[in-house]
Amino acid sequence: MKRFLILFACTFLAFSGIKAQSFDVKIVATDTIGCAPKKITFDVKTTSELSVIDWYWEFGDGGTASGPQPTHTFNNPGHYVVRLTMVVPSGATSMKVFSYKEVDILPILDLGVQHPLCRNYCAIINNTAMAEGHHDPGWYLWSTGDTTSTLRACEPGTYSVTYNVCGQTLRDTTVVIGRVTETLAQISYTWLCSRMVDLEVTPAYENVPYRMWLNWGDGTSQNLTGKNREPLRFDHEYGFSGEYTIEVHMEYQNSCSDIVTRKLTVRQ
């Protein structure tokens, strides 16, 4: 499953008396992708002059360093997040400023466990072990015969790839899962002479994680997460008689989603 990690340079406000100073901090590097062992020199860019009290670097592999321009050797393949902590003056005290940088040391390969087919588009399979935006110097050969770094899979089934980089060969396999049906939502029973409503929701996939948001249409809602394709049963009591629209929002893995609406009339 694709690592969804958001990297950012933090913006902070340092207060000295009544005057505030703002600045951005960004890690720069000689290169952030390459074969193991890989030596990388790091530096820092800021939007204003900073008087730094202390620098502390963590390279994600157990290594650490101090100073503004450290050099570090990554000996083993992997995806690493480099973290910089700077201590800067803030009035009569000090504060910490953080920044992050992703590094990929090859060879690494991970296609993810499974990819559900969405209703309107195909699944995209790629090497999720690498940071988004990194140029991949490797060569791919898919079980379909394709040689691109990403594969557009439009049919359910098992897909595999052979990956050559840094003089080494890696292999991985993933599964594309098709929909069983659309997401189903049925008002199964409305109690006579009451405002109680029963609702049954059935997910679209077998064994695919989902997140559901259920809006009853009267200002109340509820959230649920799950994985199995088993009917989900809910009951809800409306405070007043009237016309309502129930909305079921289902978000599945691989950005697949459904919105199902059901209209009902509640009478007491």
Reported as a single tens digit per residue, the pLDDT across 223-263 is 999 988 899 999 999 988 889 999 999 999 888 999 999 99
How far is Cα of residue 202 from the mean position of the Cα atoms in its chain? 25
pLDDT means per 10 residues, the chain with 268 residues, are: 38 34 78 95 83 90 94 97 88 78 97 90 93 92 97 96 98 95 82 78 92 96 92 91 93 90 86
What CATH number does the domain located at 184-266 have?
2.60.40.3880
> CA-CA distance, 185 to 246, in Å (whole number)?
9
> CA-CA distance, 256 to 176, in Å (whole number)?
13
> CA-CA distance, 158 to 172, in Å (whole number)?
11
Domains 11-105 and 184-266 share a fold: yes
How far is Cα of residue 56 from the mean position of the Cα atoms in its chain? 27
Residue 117 pLDDT = 92
> CA-CA distance, 5 to 66, in Å (whole number)?
25
What CATH number does the domain located at 11-105 have?
2.60.40.10
User: Which tokens sit at 11?
Assistant: 């913006």
Residue 44, CA distances (Å) to 47, 58, 242, 257 in order: 10, 14, 62, 41
Q: Do the Cβ atoms of 198 and 173 come closer than 8 Å?
A: no
How confident is the model over 74-103, as pLDDT tens digits? 999 999 999 999 888 776 667 788 899 999
pTM comes to: 0.75
Query: Which phi and psi (to 5°) does residue 39 adopt?
Result: -95, 130
Sequence spans of domains, the chain: 11-105, 114-177, 184-266
